[in-house]
Amino acid sequence: MITSIQGTLTSATPLHAIVELNGFGYEVNIPVTTAERLPQSGSRVKLHTHVIYRDDAQTLYGFATPSDRDFFRLMIEHVTGIGPKSALTIMSRLSVDLLESAIRSGDVGMLAKCPGIG
């Protein structure tokens, strides 16, 4: 499994980063909370990653910290109805610290603010 990628950030949007490494440009799907912490284009960057392999695609997801990546994994593997796209959307809306706090305290109002959670 690819657990991280480190290289030159060539471009970034709120939901994607392109990291160039050894002549290859890797498209990495990221939450907005990670995009906000990226350096300027042309700078070195390290993202903690999770890869999903499917018959028709290989998709790389990246996060600013290992704990963000681990929370993403927990959501897609243990929460019914939450796939990678929904998990990224949720993590784009609230930081992992706020999400964990809301879950622990049962703050349904805070969780309901996240798209995909009713």
pLDDT at 118 over 70: no
Outline where the chain has alpha helix (H). 32-35, 66-78, 84-93, 96-105, 108-112
Q: What is the pTM of this model?
A: 0.88
Nearest to 92 by CA among 106, 79, 109, 75: 75
* Pair 28, 18: CB distance under 8 Å: yes
pLDDT at residue number 116? 64
pLDDT at residue number 117? 66
Confidence of residue 11 (pLDDT cuts 50, 70, 90): very high
pLDDT digits 0-9 by tens, 23-79: 999 999 999 999 999 999 999 999 999 999 999 999 999 999 999 999 999 989 988
* Pair 109, 32: CB distance under 8 Å: no
